[in-house]
Amino acid sequence: MGGAGEGDAWADQEQGNGGGSRGVGGGGGGEAKRSEIYTYEAAWHIYAMNWSVRRDKKYRLAIASLLEQVTNRVEVVQLDEASGDIAPVLTFDHQYPPTKTMFMPDPHALRPDLLATSADHLRIWRIPSPDDADDGAASANNNNGSVRCNGTPQPGIELRCELNGNRNSDYCGPLTSFDWNDADPRRIGTSSIDTTCTIWDVEREAVDTQLIAHDKEVYDIAWGGAGVFASVSADGSVRVFDLRDKEHSTIIYESGSGGGGGGSNSGAGDGGTASPTPLVRLGWNKQDPRYMATIIMDSPKVVVLDIRYPTLPVVELHRHHAPVNAIAWAPHSSCHICTAGDDMQALIWDLSSMGTGSNGSGNGNGNAAAAAAAEGGLDPILAYTAGAEIEQLQWSATQPDWVAIAFANKLQILRV
C-alpha cells in the first residue's frame, strides 16, 4: 500500500544554486538533505487530506474519498519510519464526500484527539487513545450526535457531534470548507454554498456567529487570528471579518476589477465592468498575517495579497501551466509558499524578494509587484512532478520538512 523512494525528487529551479531546498524545510543545517518520498495508495480517489498536528503522532494524516455515492470513506494513516510504509490505523464510513478534514490544532496533546470533517454537516470525531477503549465505548453510548451513514461508526471512532448551521431544518447547505482556529481551538469556521460563514463553539456544540458573508457561494475560509477570519467566494472577492464588528467586512481583493477594490463594505461591491471570476481557495500566512494568497477558479495563477494594500496584489505567481488547485504557506517561514495544480506540479516559491517576511517600508508592496512584472514574473525555487493532477496539498505544521500531496488515489509525503 505504501513505500519509500517512489517518484522523482524536488527539482531545483534556481539556476546556479546548488541547494534550492536550503532554508525551506524546518530542519535547518547547512548540508543538503536527501530527498525522501513516501507513497500510499488508497482503494478510492482521494480528495480531502490533512496532517495531524499532535507532536506525539508524527507522520499521521487523514484522507477521505471522493465517491459518487452517499457512503464515503475516511482513513487515518501513519508512516512507520522503520519500515517506510504508510498504513491505515483507522477507517470509518462518512456520509457524502468530505470537502475537508482537519485535526484539532493541539500540538502538545493537551486535549482529546479530535478530527473534523465537512460535507452536508460539520462533524467532530474523537479518535480514542489505546488505553481508553472502555471510556470511548461509554461516551459513544451517550453521544448526542447521530450517524446517518448506513450504520454506526466502526469500533474505535466516536462521532462527538454533528453540527447543522440551519436552525430551521435538518437540511443544511453543503459546506465547501472550514478552518479550525489554532489561536482559539474552541472555534471552527465553516463556509457554505448558501452564502454564509458560520462560527461554531465546538465545546458548547453551538453556533457562536452566523453571517451572510458574500453575494454568492462561499468556497473557503481561513482564520487570521483568534477573532479575525477571511473568506473567498463565487462573487470573486476576498473579504475579511472581525468578530468584534460583525456588521461589516473589508474587501481585500476582487477578481473582476483587475486588482480589486478595497475598503470597508457592509453590502455588495460594485464589481466594476468586468465579470468577477470565482475565487476557490484561500491561504492566510500564519507567520506573517499581513499576507494571504488566493486561487482563481480554472486559472493557473496564484494571487498573493497584502491586507494593508488591498488595491493591488503583492505578486501573481504564473509558472503553473494548468489550473491551480491548492496552496499552503510554510508553517515555519513567512516567505515560502507551496502551490499545486492540474499540471501535476507542486512548486515552492520564495517570496522574500516581494517584501514578505520583512519589515520594509510601507510602499514596498507596489514597487515589488512592479519589479516582478517587469522581470517577467517570479520563478519557483523547487518543483516536484507527480503522477497525475494534484488536487490537494498540505504543509505539516509540526514537521515543516514535510509536504503532503494527493492525486488520483495516491497520497505522497515529500521531504522538502
Dihedral sign of CA atoms 382, 49, 188, 246 in order: positive
pLDDT at 375: 57
> Is residue 142 packed enough to be buried (19+ CB in 10 Å), middle (13-18) or exposed (0-12)?
exposed
Is 306 part of any domain? no
Cell numbers 525528487 correspond to: 9
Is 270 part of any domain? no
Q: What does residue 30 show for φ and ψ, rounded to 5 degrees? A: -85, -30
Dihedral sign of CA atoms 266, 272, 273, 278 in order: negative
Which residues sit opposite 237 in a β-bridge? 254
Q: What distance in Å separates the CA atoms of residue 208 and residue 224, rounded to the nearest whole number?
A: 17
Is 411 part of any domain? no
Is 67 part of any domain? yes
DSSP one-letter string for 116-158: EEESSSEEEEE---TT-HHHHHHHHHT-SS---SSS-PPTT-E
> Burial code of 176-214, b = ≥16 C-beta within 10 A, e = fewer?
bbbbbbbeebebbbbbbeebbbbbbebeeeeeebbbebb
CA distances from 30 to 23, 26, 300 (A): 9, 12, 34
Overall number of domains in the chain? 1
Is 118 part of any domain? yes
CATH at residue 98? 2.130.10.10
Q: Can you give the pTM of this predicted structure? A: 0.85
Is 101 part of any domain? yes
Domain of residue 102 covers: 37-132+144-172
Q: List per-residue pLDDT tens for the chain, 416 residues long.
A: 666 655 557 888 764 333 444 457 765 443 344 459 999 999 999 999 999 999 999 999 999 999 999 999 999 999 999 999 999 999 999 999 999 999 999 999 999 999 999 999 999 999 987 665 555 444 444 443 333 333 444 458 999 999 998 776 666 779 999 999 999 999 999 999 999 999 999 999 999 999 999 999 999 999 999 999 999 999 999 999 999 998 899 999 999 754 444 444 444 444 445 688 999 999 999 999 999 999 999 999 999 999 999 878 999 999 999 999 999 999 999 999 999 999 999 999 999 987 655 444 444 455 555 555 545 689 999 999 999 999 999 999 999 999 999 999 999 999 99
CA distances from 64 to 10, 29, 91, 119 (A): 26, 35, 10, 11
CA distances from 119 to 94, 100, 182, 199, 411 (A): 9, 8, 21, 16, 21
Nearest 5 degrees, angle CA 252-CA 199-CA 260?
10
Is 114 part of any domain? yes
Is 88 part of any domain? yes
What residue ranges in 237-284 does DSSP mark as E strands? 237-242, 245-254, 264-265, 279-284
